[in-house]
Amino acid sequence: MPREEVMKWLRARFFPHIWCPGCGHGVIMHALLRSLTALDKKPEETVIASGIGCSSRMPGYINACTVHTTHGRSLGFATGIKLAKPELTVIDVMGDGDCTAIGGNHFIHACRRNIGITAIVMNNNIYGMTGGQASPTTPPGAKATTAPYGAIDPPFDICNLAAGAGATYVARATIAQPAMCEQYIKKGIQHKGFSVIEIVTHCHTQFGRKNKRSSPVDNLNFFKQASVAKAKADQMSPEELVGKIITGEFVNKDIPEYTEQYDKLIAKVRG
Amino acid sequence: MPKIAFWQGNMGIAMGAIAAGCRFFGGYPITPSTEIAEAMAEELPRLGGKFIQMEDEIAGIAAAIGASIAGVKSMTATSGPGFSLKQENLGLAYMAEIPLVVVDVMRGGPSTGLPTKISQQDVMQARWGSHGDHGTIAYAPSSVQECYEITVEAFNMAERFRQPVLIMNDEVLGHMREKVIVPEDDSLVLVDRKRPTVSPDEFVPYRADEQDDIPPMAGMGDGYRWHVTGLTHNDWGFPTNNAAEIEKKMLRLMRKIDRFRDDIVKYDTESVKDADVLVLSYGSVARTALSAVRMARKKGIKVGHFRPVTLWPFPDKELETIASRVKTILVPELNCGQMVLEVERVVGKERVVRQNLVNGELFKPAEILSKIEEVA
């Protein structure tokens, strides 16, 4: 059972949740709530935004200021909220399709702008809610309802994408490492600027049953076996890294945060 | 002392928004509406407000809705293709009941169409563009003075009814400069959204007050916790598949506008008392049509003019009363016939004559005058 201070963040009225038994999203939500309580955040000063998909239902279950928006667009809404009230803690939870397909443009521009929002991208390599269609992170060869003979599209590496677009804190963990998830989410929230935490999770219902990982345990074991810490990965060849999930921090740098820059601009204009 | 200004229509809208208390603008450049964004970029930081140029039209309206959720009056502005792109998030603002003003400076369509030329081809999109049923409030100003005043009113309506309000400007009026008498700020009546009076623990975010069917709205960061969603939801903002809860929400969305229709509807008439012919037009076309009506009057033709200022809700019963006395209703429009469908709904098809122009030009008074002479 989660700790009592974590339970206080739950919106019991909205339960039971829609996630399948054994879904990894609960691990991520728990890590997020542990991070928020550890950082002494107040729910009434914490905004959690999301788009559309299984992962995007998370805000509904959290008793904070929650905004469940349109598919892929949540970073636009979150940007408006953060800019209007920079004192709020703003977190945006997204899935892989939400963030990197329909929301790809919003994602790279939020990275570029370096606005103080923490993006948590729950990457399960599939569109789960709509029944298992290929996403921009479906591994080559993996099967999906819209890739019945195996995906041939090269996938995105979400962390590389975020780093390339200018995000100033970028990290990856898998749900097999809940303490690491919490650690990176905490650092992301504390970071001044746009932070991206990719958490590799599973959809055993839609991805797993077509790709020989049909139980939650299969997936946890896969994550444990496939994960390589960044320090070790740096010593490995590209061939050795095929099929591996590199975990760790990829970017952590200080660049002026957007809403602080905006306040300076206002001060300058107003003399 | 009121100030005299010489503005283009787009500037009138920007300055009206500032006067109405708008302190956030999210947008994207598009002809012929860009001057609104440029004016907001210059004015808002001076007032401690925020302008942000987003990565696209979709994000522009998303940011504006986000700011409104955080409690700040906000606006976005666009033109045809951008108005199409905004329809999805416009729907979220209807469903989640978020106050917002959206300006569409109409240009020729479809598609990229005529970026620098006038049309009135988006007026039905204003009513039906976003999927699903909802009440619509959409204005069509026809002078720069009105651009300013209507924008103040649009914000007041958005705040009062907790929904997006549309201003359907057009390219000619957007870029035309004329004199504006700018009232002093303290002479304006400004409306703010109804805030909750209960404590955060007792707050039920979508429980509407019986007297107006509108739920009080807390700004995020004001101590209240609540859930915004584009899913059909119950009073708690919780997604629902319950037929009774769905129906309650949907009917209230329509009813909150329908029951206050008389407070919203705005129109203007000239020379209608003894008219045999009634010309109905709006936006820039109304300026040309009024010239034609006055020229026809000088020739002894009994003709009057009816101008809907709110396209939606359409001033149907007001038109019906006046139209009952006339033989012919002429509807000149810069599209292939859109608002004329509303006119025909009200008065029937028999007496209605259409006059349509879709070549990117505005009617000339002589063209409408000759049509008046033809039908008189």
User: Mean pLDDT of all residues in chain A?
Assistant: 97
Burial B297-321, CB ≥16 within 10 A → b, else e: beeebbbbbbbbbbbbbbbbebbee
* Amino acid type, A118: T
pLDDT of residue B82: 98
Taking CA–CA distances from A87, the nearest residue in chain B reads B221
Contacts of B59 in chain A (CB under 8 A): 73, 75-76, 79, 105-106, 109
Give residue A253's pLDDT band: very low, low, confident or very high (50, 70, 90). Answer: very high
The alpha carbons of chain B give a radius of gyration, in whole angstroms, of 21
Share of residues in chain B with pLDDT > 70 (%): 100
Average pLDDT over residues A172-178: 98
Contacts of B50 in chain A (CB under 8 A): 83-84, 262
User: For B5-25, what is each residue's pLDDT tens digit?
Assistant: 999 999 999 999 999 999 999
DSSP letter at A233 equals H
* Amino acid type, A210: K
- Contact yes or no for B223/B72 (Cβ under 8 A): no
pLDDT of residue A98: 98
State whether residue A76 sits within 8 Å of chain B by CB: yes
Fold of A4-270: Rossmann fold (3.40.50)
Tell which residue, B27, B39, B26, B30, has the closest CA to residue B106: B30
Give residue A131's pLDDT band: very low, low, confident or very high (50, 70, 90). Answer: very high
Domains and CATH numbers, chain B: 3-187 (3.40.50.970), 267-375 (3.40.50.920)
Q: Where are the alpha helices (DSSP H) in chain B?
A: 9-20, 34-46, 57-69, 80-96, 123-128, 144-161, 171-175, 243-258, 261-264, 284-298, 316-323, 339-347, 365-375
ipTM of the complex: 0.97
Give residue B128's pLDDT band: very low, low, confident or very high (50, 70, 90). Answer: very high
Confidence check: pLDDT of A1 > 80 = no
Which residue in B225, B234, B236 has the most chain A C-beta atoms within 10 A of its own C-beta, making it the best mutation to test that interface? B225
Give residue B157's pLDDT band: very low, low, confident or very high (50, 70, 90). Answer: very high
Give residue B186's pLDDT band: very low, low, confident or very high (50, 70, 90). Answer: confident
Confidence check: pLDDT of B91 > 90 = yes
User: For B249-263, what is each residue's pLDDT tens digit?
Assistant: 999 999 999 999 999
Contacts of B63 in chain A (CB under 8 A): 76-77, 79-80, 83
User: For B267-295, what is each residue's pLDDT tens digit?
Assistant: 999 999 999 999 999 999 999 999 999 99
Angstrom distance (rounded) from CA B281 to CA B342: 12
